[in-house]
Amino acid sequence: MNLIALDSSGQTATVALVSGGKLLGEYTINHKKTHSQTLMPMLDALCTAAEFDPAAVDAIAVSAGPGSFTGLRIGAAAAKGMAQALDKPVIAVSTLKALAWQFYGSEELVCPMMDARRAQVYSGIYRFQREAEGARLTVVAEGAALPAEEQLARLNAMQEPVIFLGDGVEVHRTLIETRMQRPFILAPLHRRYQSAACVAACAAAMLAAGEEPMPAALFAPEYLRPSQAERERAERGETAG
């Protein structure tokens, strides 16, 4: 199985190539440039360095959200454009599950937190269930947009150690450190942010579990909540009403 994987759901832009279960390469940048400037040039550079022909790909794995509205749209457009040009399917991977994959096999609860602004986070709670041939990612609490404090209260009630990761960790670091009543770890820099290799690994696990990829035309990102423009338009409508 040959996969191209993309993630532009947050500030991090990341692409990866997988062939026959081997990670050929990953290109990640966490900088202020927009993903429309970086994502495809990064993929082109990676394919060149790995001597990989995109026509040999079997599917495009893409982070499907939640995350930045603009970032998700750029990633979706890139994935759909490639998939349609190459006549290949798309594998839609949850951003939060792909983030959790950074800590594959860990015994602690894994809690990705992406900054959603307005004191909220996109967050879920996951654990890895050990099995004979590895580990299986299971959902403890589905991904949602919610106040960071509410998510911490959920975790305290579960009475288990937790690993936090994602760009929301730094934003809500003080809150985590003061409100958490259970042992916790804040992910180090090299395992805190999005990784296209994790998107690819999660996609491969989905396929192995019998999930089917989808035609490119059917793929759409999962936003979890209305965009800022939609919220402001609704608020103006309520005021006018």
134-190 pLDDT tens trace? 999 999 999 999 999 999 999 999 999 999 999 999 999 999 999 999 999 999 999
State the total domains in the chain.
2
pLDDT in tens, 21-39: 999 999 999 987 789 999 9
Segment 183-210 mean pLDDT: 97
**DSSP states of the chain:** -EEEEEE-SSSEEEEEEEETTEEEEEEEEESSS-HHHHHHHHHHHHHHHHT--GGG-SEEEEE--SS-HHHHHHHHHHHHHHHHHHT--EEEE-HHHHHHGGGTT-SSEEEEEEEEETTEEEEEEEEEEEETTEEEEEEEEEEEEEEHHHHHHHHHHHTS-EEEESTHHHHTHHHHHHH--S-EEEPPGGGTS--HHHHHHHHHHHHHTTPPPB-GGG-----SS--HHHHHHHHHHHHH-
Q: Is residue 79 part of a domain?
A: yes
Q: Judge whether 103 lies within some domain.
A: yes
CB-based burial, 57-87: b 16+ in 10 Å, e otherwise: bbbbbbbbbbbbbebbbbbbbbbbebbeebe
Angstrom distances, CA of residue 195 to CA of 42, 54, 188, 202: 14, 20, 14, 11
Q: Are residues 110 and 161 in the same domain?
A: yes
In a domain, residue 24? The reply is: yes
- The pLDDT assigned to 237 comes to 54
- Considering the domain architecture, whether residues 72 and 146 belong to the same structural domain is answered as no
The whole-number pLDDT of residue 215 equals: 97
Give the CATH number of the domain where residue 59 resides: 3.30.420.40
- Cα–Cα dist 50/62, whole Å: 20
> Do the domain assignments include residue 70?
yes
Percent share of the chain, pLDDT over 90:
89
Q: What is the pLDDT of residue 239?
A: 55
Taking only the tens place, the pLDDT of each residue in 114-127 is 999 989 999 999 99
Mark whether 12 and 125 lie in a shared domain: no
Clarify whether residues 186 and 199 are in a common domain.
Answer: no
Mean pLDDT of 93-106: 98
Task: Give the separation between CA 101 and CA 204, rounded to whole angstroms.
Answer: 12
Residue 232: how many CB atoms within 10 A of its CB? 11
Residue 63 domain-assigned (yes or no): yes
Residue 211 shares a structural domain with residue 130: no
Do 117 and 82 lie in one domain? The reply is: no
Q: Is residue 239 included in any domain, yes or no?
A: no
**pTM for this model (two decimals):** 0.92
Residue 169 and residue 122 share a domain: yes
Q: In this prediction, what percent of the chain has a pLDDT beyond 70?
A: 93
Give domain status of residue 216, yes or no: yes
Same domain for 168 and 132?
A: yes
Whether residue 131 sits in one domain with residue 117: yes
- Looking at the fold, whether 68 and 28 belong to one and the same domain comes out as yes
Residues 172 and 145 in one domain: yes
Domain that holds residue 136: 96-191
Both 83 and 106 in one domain: the answer is no
Tell me, yes or no, whether 62 lies in a domain. yes
Contact 25, 50 (CB under 8 A): yes
